[in-house]
Amino acid sequence: MIQIIQGDITQMQVDAIVNAANTTLLGGGGVDGAIHRAAGPELLAACRQLHGCATGEAKITAGFRLPAKFVIHTPGPIWRDGTQSEAQLLQRSYANSLALAAAHDCQTVAFPSISTGVYRYPLAQAAKIALTTIRDFLATNTVVKTVTLVCFDPTTLAAYQQAYRAIV
């Protein structure tokens, strides 16, 4: 099942939340900074042990002070012009995060809108990639039951709702 809501991903009571991280995994702005602040300094210490993460890949830590059991960190692509494999990298961020969630027996997973903030990925395109990747994953996996897309603002929520209507 796919749910789309507007809210604060750091408040989600799910097995895993996904962090739209940078490649250092050492915190940053936007959702990454919010997750690090909410999880506490233990998250940064755990991330230091991971030695970064390539764009499109995913790594997992405990959730520490978050209501979520795990944080899955995935660096999405920085939008350049659409010819630098951005779509494939964004799809891999979602797919690798879902595979890691399933490998850790996570039945409920919450995602932010990866790469659409400071990385400037066009929102409508990113929403379509996210929802198509999640739909296709849920069709074949037996572990992850519910994926919630947690949109930060009404504009993002509307884009994801529109993309969802187009793929169902």
Active site members:
32
2's CB contacts (< 8 A; 6+ apart) are 131, 134, 135, 138, 146, 147, 148, 149, 164
Q: Quick one: which of 3, 130, 145, 146 has its CA closest to 74?
A: 130
Q: Is the dihedral of CA 72, 78, 83, 84 positive or negative?
A: negative
Backbone torsions φ then ψ of 59, nearest 5 degrees: -135, 160
Q: What's the CA gap between 99 and 105, in Å, rounded? A: 10
